[in-house]
Amino acid sequence: MLKTVLIVDDSEITRRALQSFFTGCNLNVITCNDGLEGVQKALQYKPVIIFLDLLMPNLNGVKMLQVIKVMDELKHIPVVVISGNTNKRNVLAAVEAGAEKVISKPLKKEVIIKMVNEILGKEFLVKNKGNTKFSHKESEDLVKQLRNFFLNTFPEKERGIIESLKTKNVELLKMISHEIKGTGGAVGYPELTVLGREIYGRLLEPEINWEIIELKFEQIFTIVNKIKIS
């Protein structure tokens, strides 16, 4: 029976990247996009390890950690927190809640291998697949696949952004900017990560400057249009 890895992240790009990697290591991969479903999936599949984002809808990463670490069926499962913002406060909150490791986005395959083998035992991934190193072509192909997926799904996000700017829907804009923040590096455009992070931070301010928010989203639209024709 294949061992299971659970990935809990509201970024579909991140979920796809991790799923591609772990499936290639002959592991069963289960994914979901919020902490509440993550707890349910963990109970159902009993994964050997959980990869968990910090900022998610319904139940965020820290709260999910707190829940599973008091459940006898789950508390022994190691959790690796993945976040686009690994500042000291976030790292401490994750570790205090029970995370084994905290790694930053964009994810690097070599870091994932090192983390998993440190937690589950030396050569764990190597035993599941003889070679876990990306070739240059594999890296390029994965980035290309993720970029195509991002471009195919972006029109819906763009419509959501435009409508949310009209209605000043802060929560939806926060969710979208958070996902863009975690996506940029994975698709080869770190400037998207920078813009997503800046927008998200400005949406947390008591007095939101909507002109700047709109300008930053326009910059994102411009970058995406350049990606389409590149």
CA 219, CA 163: separation in Å to the nearest integer? 17
Long-range contacts of 109-118, Cβ-Cβ distance < 8 Å, separation of 24 or more? 109/21, 109/133, 109/134, 109/139, 112/18, 112/21, 115/80, 116/49, 116/80
CA 198, CA 177: separation in Å to the nearest integer? 9
Supply the pLDDT for residue 187. Answer: 79
CA 124, CA 45: separation in Å to the nearest integer? 19
Question: Lowest-pLDDT range, 97-106, 178-187, 199-208?
Answer: 178-187
Provide the 3-class DSSP secondary structure of residue 167.
helix
Supply the pLDDT for residue 107. Answer: 77
Percentage of the chain exceeding pLDDT 70: 88
Can you name the CATH fold of 137-229? Four Helix Bundle (Hemerythrin (Met), subunit A) (1.20.120)
Q: What is the location of CATH 3.40.50.2300 in the chain?
A: 4-132
Check residues 47 and 145 and name the one with the higher pLDDT: 47
Supply the pLDDT for residue 147. Answer: 83
Is the pLDDT assigned to residue 72 strictly greater than 50? Answer: yes
> How many other CB atoms are there within 10 angstroms of residue 22's CB atom?
25
Supply the pLDDT for residue 208. Answer: 95
pLDDT in tens, 123-153: 677 545 544 445 556 566 667 777 888 888 8
Is the pLDDT assigned to residue 210 strictly greater than 50? Answer: yes
Average of pLDDT values for 144-167? 89
Question: From its phi and psi, is residue 135 left (phi > 0), alpha (psi between -120 and 50) or beta?
Answer: beta
Architecture of domain 4-132: 3-Layer(aba) Sandwich (3.40)
* Mean pLDDT, all residues of the chain: 84
Percentage of the chain exceeding pLDDT 90: 34
Supply the pLDDT for residue 127. Answer: 47
In the sheet where 101-104 sits, what is the strand order? Answer: 28-32, 4-8, 49-53, 79-83, 101-104
pLDDT in tens, 94-115: 888 888 888 877 777 788 888 8
Check residues 93 and 142 and name the one with the higher pLDDT: 93
Q: What is the location of CATH 1.20.120 in the chain?
A: 137-229
Supply the pLDDT for residue 130. Answer: 43
pLDDT in tens, 183-195: 777 778 889 989 9
**Helices first, then strands: H and E counts in the chain:** 10, 5
Average of pLDDT values for 76-88? 80
Q: How confident is the model at residue 178 (pLDDT cuts 50, 70, 90)?
A: confident
Supply the pLDDT for residue 132. Answer: 44
pTM for the predicted model, two decimal places: 0.69
